[in-house]
């Protein structure tokens, strides 16, 4: 059986009423997993066969350098959508 590394993105957007940006961020950070995932856009960004070196040494879950400030993978062709602030 082979091993694979699979990169996923989960994108969602929330509208909250808050006194400032920090309070708004705290509100969303305190949402439950269910609240965070409800109505989210789930995408598989890549599937790579894991090499023996990766399996034995271990690697981070994903290469964060491939994502822009909106969580969109900028280094592969899987993402065709762009998102505005």
Per-range mean pLDDT, top range of 17-31, 41-55, 57-71: 17-31
Band (pLDDT 50/70/90 cuts) for residue 78 is very low
Mark 27-52 as b/e (b = at least 16 C-beta within 10 Å). eeeeeeeeeeeeeeeebebbeeeeee
* pLDDT at 4 exceeding the cut of 70: yes
- Output 72-78 pairs: Cβ under 8 A, ≥24 positions apart: 72/9, 73/7, 73/9, 73/45, 73/46, 76/45, 76/46, 78/43, 78/44, 78/45, 78/46
* pLDDT cut 90: percent of the chain above it: 53
How far apart are alpha carbons 3 and 68 in whole angstroms?
27
């Amino acid at each position: 059986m082979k091993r694979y590394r699979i990169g996923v993105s989960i994108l969602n957007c929330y509208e909250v009423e808050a006194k400032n940006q920090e309070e708004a961020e705290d509100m969303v950070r305190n949402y439950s997993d269910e609240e965070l995932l409800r109505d989210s856009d789930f995408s598989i960004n890549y599937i790579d066969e894991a090499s023996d070196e990766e399996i034995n040494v271990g690697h981070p879950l994903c290469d964060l350098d491939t994502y822009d400030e909106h969580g969109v993978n900028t280094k592969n062709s899987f993402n065709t959508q762009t998102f505005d602030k």
